[in-house]
Amino acid sequence: MRILVMTRFYRNGQTTHVLDLCAELLELGHRVLLVLADLNDLVYLQRLKASGIPHLLTARPEALRKQLARWGPELIHNHSAHTLPAALILGQELNIPTLTTVHYLDFEPKQLLQKQVGVILSSREMREEFGDLQVPCFVVENGVRLPRLRPRAKRWRQRALLLAQTTPEKQENFHQLSQCLLQWGWEVVSAGGGSFPGVRYLGWVHDVEPLLRGADLVVGTGRAIREGMAACCAAFVLGRYCDGLVTPENVEKLQTANFSGRAYRAPFCPAAAAASLAQPQPAYFQELGRFGRRYALQHFSSRKMALAVEEIYRSILDRRAKLQG
pLDDT single digits (tens) 9-47: 988 889 999 999 999 999 999 999 999 999 998 988 998
* Overall average pLDDT of the 233-247 stretch: 97
**Whole-number Å distance between alpha carbons of 195 and 199:** 7
Are 11 and 164 in contact by the 8 Å Cβ rule? The answer is: no
pLDDT at site 69: 93
pLDDT of residue 153: 67
Q: Yes or no: say if 225 and 292 are a contact pair by the CB < 8 Å rule.
A: no
User: Do 2-143+301-324 and 148-299 agree at the fold level?
Assistant: yes
What's the fold here for domain 2-143+301-324?
A: Rossmann fold (3.40.50)
Domain boundaries, the chain: 2-143+301-324, 148-299
Q: Give the mean pLDDT of 125-138.
A: 90
- pLDDT score at 152: 62
Q: Is the pLDDT of residue 164 over 90?
A: no
Class of domain 148-299: alpha beta
Span 265-277, pLDDT tens digits: 999 999 999 999 9
DSSP 119: E
Least confident of 73-77, 151-155, 218-222: 151-155
Greater confidence (204 vs 97) lies with 97
Strand duo 200-201 + 217-220: pairing: unpaired
